[in-house]
């Protein structure tokens, strides 16, 4: 049994040595053609030389250099010379002395003449009151200095304008109390401008004109209320 194993081991060693020798022989045989092939390939590649390309140079052209142009020189402008101003002195005037004048002698001044009423009757005053309706009373006194001289039978006129036709085309005649009443509204309220005067028997005015006075519709507490107006005239009134 031991001999069999030895023979087997020996045979295996011999087989391995033979195989190794075969491999070495094969490697030596194939290495030469590969080297020669690679050498030929290297030789072929080395023989290919790239041709150099040359770019033709441009011809040199002589470009004329422009001659320098002379820049225009600006001549300096002469500054205006200031002309000295000579101040002329005006001759001083001597003050003129006014000759002494004598003040005018004071002359006596007369006071303005008092305006006198050219008519026999003059206007004295008027009053306003708040009451029912709208009325114009014209009252005449025969003596300016006597308050109890109410004159009956005097002719009077009341109108919307001086010397115009009387209201209602009526010339009134005063009664015993010396008054005449122009009833403008009763009941109700009449508003408007009023004037009054005294006339003679031919209805010519013989007194100053009284007015204007406005009849209105203001209430009793208003200080400007005027529903009834009374014109007072007297003979000899200034």
Which pLDDT does position 19 carry in this prediction?
Answer: 77
Average pLDDT of every residue of the chain: 79
Average pLDDT over every residue of 46-57: 54
Confidence band for 36, pLDDT divided at 50, 70 and 90:
very low
The larger pLDDT score, comparing residue 122 to residue 98, is at 122
Task: Please report, for residues 33, 36, 97, 120, the alpha-carbon distance to residue 101 in angstroms, rounded to integers and kept in the order given.
Answer: 164, 161, 12, 53
Confidence band for 37, pLDDT divided at 50, 70 and 90:
very low
Confidence band for 94, pLDDT divided at 50, 70 and 90:
low
Average pLDDT over every residue of 105-110: 62
Element holding 229 (H helix, E strand) = strand 228-235
Which pairs count as long-range contacts for 161-167, CB under 8 Å and 24+ apart, including other chains? Answer: 161/193, 161/195, 162/195, 162/197, 162/209, 162/211, 163/197, 163/205, 163/209, 164/195, 167/136
Which pLDDT does position 5 carry in this prediction?
Answer: 65
Which pLDDT does position 35 carry in this prediction?
Answer: 40
Q: Cα angle at 232 between 229 and 236, to 5 degrees?
A: 165
Tokens of 148: 């109890």
pLDDT > 70 fraction of the chain, expressed in percent and rounded: 58
Neighbour-count burial of 134, counting CB atoms closer than 10 A to its CB (0-12 exposed, 13-18 middle, 19+ buried): buried
Q: CA-CA distance, 143 to 22, in Å (whole number)?
A: 191
| Assigned fold of 121-235 | Immunoglobulin-like (2.60.40)
Q: CA-CA distance, 215 to 158, in Å (whole number)?
A: 13
Task: With beta carbons less than 8 A apart as the criterion, state whether 210 and 137 touch.
Answer: no
Whether the predicted pLDDT of 30 surpasses 60:
no
Q: CA-CA distance, 127 to 157, in Å (whole number)?
A: 17
Least confident of 37-51, 67-81, 121-135, 138-152: 37-51
Average pLDDT over every residue of 134-150: 97
Tokens of 119: 């008519």
Which pLDDT does position 63 carry in this prediction?
Answer: 60
pLDDT, one tens digit per residue, over 164-198 is 999 999 999 999 999 999 999 999 999 999 999 99
Whether the predicted pLDDT of 54 surpasses 80:
no
Look up the pTM and report it.
0.54
Least confident of 6-10, 12-16, 63-67: 63-67
- The ranges assigned to domains in the chain are 1-41, 121-235
Least confident of 37-41, 72-76, 153-157, 233-237: 37-41
């Amino acid at each position: 049994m031991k001999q069999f194993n030895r023979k087997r081991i020996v045979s295996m060693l011999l087989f391995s040595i033979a195989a190794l020798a075969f491999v070495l022989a094969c490697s030596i045989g194939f290495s030469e053609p590969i080297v020669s092939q690679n050498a030929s390939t290297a030789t072929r590649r080395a023989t290919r030389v790239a041709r150099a390309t040359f770019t033709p140079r441009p011809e040199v052209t002589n470009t004329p250099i422009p001659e320098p142009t002379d820049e225009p020189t600006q001549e300096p402008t002469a500054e205006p010379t200031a002309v000295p101003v000579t101040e002329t002195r005006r001759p001083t005037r001597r003050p003129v002395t006014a000759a002494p004048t004598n003040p005018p002698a004071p002359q006596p001044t007369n006071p303005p003449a008092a305006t006198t009423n050219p008519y026999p009757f003059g206007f004295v005053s008027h009053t306003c009151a708040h009451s029912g309706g709208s009325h114009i009373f014209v009252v005449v006194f025969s003596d300016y200095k006597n308050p109890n001289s109410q004159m009956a039978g005097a002719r009077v006129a009341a109108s919307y304008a001086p010397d115009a036709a009387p209201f209602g085309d009526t010339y009134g005649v005063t009664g015993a109390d010396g008054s005449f009443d122009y009833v403008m509204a009763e009941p109700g309220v009449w508003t408007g401008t009023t004037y009054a005067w005294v006339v003679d028997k031919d209805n010519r005015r013989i007194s100053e004109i009284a007015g204007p006075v406005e009849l209105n519709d203001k209430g009793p507490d208003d200080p400007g209320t005027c529903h009834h107006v009374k014109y007072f005239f007297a003979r000899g009134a200034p």
